[in-house]
A = this chain, B = another copy of it.
């Protein structure tokens, strides 16, 4: 086991040994919601996986640290970054008093391939995680699901322009439930979050799909809809 780190400030009091920022990077892949993890090589967590976080410096804003760590691991920055929660339990980190500021991060759909030794893992099938990162992932998933229909948080997970079936696939992967196609269309249109571009996408057989785009690409809330749509019920 590595030595425990400690710190004392210039007034003589014990202070945190460090401060970390960790992004929970989520994306729908293969129809399921997945999270980006990196392997942990140091004891006592060798063999487990962890979120791609790192130590903050005094000159850095915590979002910047989360962004930087993310870029180091994936080669891209986050399209969306929102503070999730801070974890500061006394014994959460065996290295010492090291609180963690967690962020919910979404990266552009187009760069989902870029990886190093990082790995995408379905959030409902996690390997053993270091620290309390399993809980952090759970909190992140919950936040993403909770905001899905109330904000344009899905912006970064869809291409610039997308079809209704594409959007539906992403929403279904995130929430884990199936939606009725025609109702999904109506709900998303009425949400005020998206707008038709007038163009269509021709791919394969079948009627071409109309292309949509988000009205607002910066973080924003829906003004119209009042509740999330229902899931599809079994046919009777």
The complex places the Cα of A15 from the Cα of B10 at a distance, in Å, of 11
User: Known contacts A61-B90, A88-B56, A88-B62; is A6 also within 8 Å of B5 by CB?
Assistant: no
Q: Which of B3, B8, B89, B101 contacts A61 (CB 8 A)?
A: B89
Identify the closest chain B residue to A4 (Cβ).
Answer: B10
Tallying the copies of this chain within the complex gives 2
- Consensus secondary structure, chain A interface: loop
Known A85-B83, A86-B101; contact A17-B6, beta-carbon cutoff 8 A: no
**B-contact 0/1 string along A15-41, CB 8 Å cutoff:** 111110000000000000000000000
Verify B90–A60 contact, CB threshold 8 A.
yes
Q: Which of A10, A15, A61 has the most CB of B within 10 A?
A: A15
User: Which one of B9, B62, B88, B227 lies within 8 Å of A18 (CB-CB)?
Assistant: B9
Complex contacts, A3 vs chain B, CB 8 Å: 10
A86 to B88, CA, bound (A): 11
Task: Answer whether residue A7 sits at the interface, using C-beta atoms and an 8 A cutoff.
Answer: yes
B contact residues around A6 at 8 Å (CB) = 9-10
Q: How far is the CB of A87 from chain B (nearest CB, A)?
A: 9
The answer to whether B11 and A8 touch across the interface, beta carbons within 8 angstroms, is: no
Q: Are A15 and B18 in contact (CB under 8 A)?
A: yes
Contact string, A29-58, partner B, CB cutoff 8 A, digits 1/0?
A: 000000000000000000000000001111
Q: Is the CB of A19 within 8 A of B99?
A: yes
Chain B nearest CB, measured from A185 CB (Å): 20
Are B19 and A88 closer than 8 Å at their CB atoms? yes
Docked pose: A5 CA to B12 CA in angstroms: 10
Verify A9–B14 contact, CB threshold 8 A: no
User: Which B residue's beta carbon lies closest to that of A11?
Assistant: B5
Residues of B within 8 A of A90 (CB): 58-61
Among residues of B, the one whose C-beta sits closest to the C-beta of A65 is B88
Q: Which residues of B contact A57 (CB under 8 A)?
A: 14
- Identify which of B11, B19, B60, B96 contacts A16 (C-beta below 8 A): B19
> Cβ of A88 and Cβ of B101 under 8 Å apart?
yes
Q: Quick check: B15 and A7 within 8 Å, CB to CB?
A: yes
Give me 10 A-to-B residue pairs in the complex whose CB atoms sit less than 8 angstroms apart, sorted by A's number. Answer: A3-B10, A6-B10, A7-B16, A8-B8, A10-B17, A16-B19, A59-B90, A83-B86, A99-B99, A99-B101
